[in-house]
Amino acid sequence: MAGPTAVANNAGPAAIPPVMQAAADARATGAKQRTSRTSIPTQSGKWILGKTIGAGSMGKVKLARKEDGTEQVACKIIPRGSTEDNHHSRADKERADQSKEIRTAREAAIVTLLQHPHICGMRDVVRTNYHWYMLFEYVNGGQMLDYIISHGKLKEKQARKFSRQIASALDYCHRNSIVHRDLKIENILISKTGDIKIIDFGLSNLFAPRGHLKTFCGSLYFAAPELLQARAYTGPEVDVWSFGIVLYVLVCGKVPFDDQSMPALHAKIKKGLVDYPSWLSNGK
């Protein structure tokens, strides 16, 4: 299970929750990293890499402009092979490298197939000896996480619009036998037109209605109980649970399950008992 990354209790502009701010700060730190510019030749033309706009455990994201200056994309750069030094043996490193390669190739294949107005589309993908380069449409409206940090909880009318768009994207994925498995507030962008785009299919996979997946992945605050209980699952149900957590964050400005104690947090998620604020509408 990936480490916890989520929003926490007080979500107003005057008091930014520590966990929320940590997630934003981590992104900002990655965005400040400077590396030499280079170019990537693709079937759609040559792209010139620019500044780093994000970074994570798997790689970094840079702005890239087409050589003729007509277009801008976000380029996700993933090193091939493990960048960690904590492997106990050469065999461990080889297994980790193979696992990472399979995961990255799967992400590229799945995102290539996806074409939906509320899923960040991929323009091209290039694999070199040392890196994967995935070119995605550039969503220039910012992250939902940053919006909530700045403004606090959303009005229900606005949250309703976003939730319809998320539901539409998930329904599209599930009807095409794809499960995201890492839906969280950090993986939702807002376009300049005020619509959402879901990103980061790095943990996605194909599923079969009569089959079961056994990989327990995702982000703790948004993870379904069956993942914490190490139970096999079909796929869509874990996305639906995460969608519910996201919707709660949108209208409440905090996650429904939180605790300083990790065992206590696990217990709360497994019980699934949610405290709905009295000021929420009844949905009518």
Specify the CATH number for the domain of residue 183. 1.10.510.10
The reported pLDDT for the residue numbered 114 is 96
Same domain? 233 vs 154: yes
Are the C-beta atoms of residues 132 and 108 closer than 8 Å to each other?
A: yes
The reported pLDDT for the residue numbered 99 is 87
Residue finishing a domain among 102, 137, 172 = 137
Same domain? 57 vs 117: yes
Q: Which of 229, 200, 207 minimizes the C-alpha distance to 216?
A: 229
Same domain? 221 vs 209: yes
The reported pLDDT for the residue numbered 96 is 85
Same domain? 221 vs 239: yes
Please state the rounded mean pLDDT for residues 205-219.
Answer: 92
The number of folded domains in the chain is 2
**Cα 27 vs. chain centroid, distance in angstroms?**
13
Confirm whether 182 is a catalytic residue.
yes
Assess whether pLDDT exceeds 90 at residue 79.
Answer: yes
Please state the rounded mean pLDDT for residues 123-140.
Answer: 94
Q: Does the annotation list 76 as a binding residue?
A: yes
Residue finishing a domain among 137, 167, 186 = 137
Assess whether pLDDT exceeds 60 at residue 3.
Answer: no
Assess whether pLDDT exceeds 90 at residue 269.
Answer: yes
Residue 282 domain flag: no
Assess whether pLDDT exceeds 60 at residue 94.
Answer: yes
Q: How far apart are CA 247 and CA 243, in angstroms?
A: 6
Instruction: Take residue 231 and report the two structure tokens written for it.
Output: 């139970």
The catalytically annotated residue of 124, 146, 171, 182 is: 182
C-alpha distances (whole Å) from 78 to each of 103, 108, 114, 161, 253 are 11, 11, 20, 33, 32
What domain range is 216 assigned to? Answer: 140-271
Find the Cα–Cα–Cα–Cα dihedral 207, 208, 209, 212, rounded to 10°.
-70
Assess whether pLDDT exceeds 80 at residue 23.
Answer: no
Q: Where are the beta strands (DSSP E) in the chain?
A: 39-42, 45-55, 60-66, 72-79, 122-127, 131-137, 178-179, 188-190, 196-198, 205-206
Please state the rounded mean pLDDT for residues 177-203.
Answer: 96
Residue finishing a domain among 120, 137, 154 = 137
Are the C-beta atoms of residues 251 and 185 closer than 8 Å to each other?
A: no
Same domain? 219 vs 100: no
Q: Is 42 helix (H, G, I), strand (E, B) or coil?
A: strand
User: Bridge partners of 170?
Assistant: none
Please state the rounded mean pLDDT for residues 183-198.
Answer: 96
The reported pLDDT for the residue numbered 44 is 82
Specify the CATH number for the domain of residue 110. 3.30.200.20
Contact partners, residue 267, CB within 8 Å, separation at least 6: none
